[in-house]
Amino acid sequence: MSLNSKKNTSSISLTSPRVIVAFALFCAALLSSFAFAALSNKTLGYWVAAHPISIGSLITSEDLILVNATLAENGGLYLTQDLNPIGSTSISAIGTGEFIALNSITEESTAFDSEQVPINIAASDIPADIEMGELISLYWVPEPLDRTSLSTPELLLSGVFLRSIDRKNSNFGNGLAITISVDNSQVKKLLSGTSSGRLVIVGSHG
């Protein structure tokens, strides 16, 4: 085969429709991968809980902080800065530093009817390492009839959200002032347990 025929064969193969189509598909795939990588690495502003938020809480500006993050394919599950959650109601407990998920809040304020109830607990009746935002159980321990008899504790409430705890005054014998979030229907039951005997706090998660 002559040199000229080799040149013609090479020229035809490079300009053939199959080669052009294959090259076009290769370029398209390359551009798509670059575009996908750029979108997945895009940093956006997301709303994060500034402190523990209990179920049924009305979201305020003090509950939130705005952080920049790259969540890739999971980004659509959380509230970005262009969505305003203030005024919404939490329908699940949200921990400190957690991203606010779209399914964790609602605009229907009647979805939950919770109350924030302050009570006083003896320092010896609450775990020393328990922290705000944990779920707790409350046991009512009635006063014994006499020194030789034993009183039987009764589970008063469980799965209660510990909204706040003040340990500052416990050194002065005043006990601990705590605030818990309970359903409206449970408030009377809780307060009745404070009229006599004592309340003991138990952590729900070992």
Model confidence at 48: pLDDT above 90: yes
Mean pLDDT of 165-192: 81
Q: What is the pTM of this model?
A: 0.57
pLDDT at 202: 92
SS3 of the chain: CCHHHHHHHHHHHHCCHHHHHHHHHHHHHHHHHHHHHHHHCCCEEEEEECCCECCCCECCHHHEEEEEECCHHHHHHECECCCCCCCCEECCCECCCCECEHHHEECCHHHCCEEEEEEEECHHHCCCCCCCCCEEEEEEECCCCCCCCCCCCEEEEEEEEEEEEECHHHHHCCCEEEEEEEEHHHHHHHHHCCCCCEEEEEECCC
Of residues 20 and 95, more confidence is placed in 95
pLDDT at 106: 87
Percent of the chain having pLDDT more than 90? Answer: 19
Mean pLDDT of 92-105: 90
pLDDT at 65: 93
Mean pLDDT of 110-129: 82
Model confidence at 140: pLDDT above 90: yes
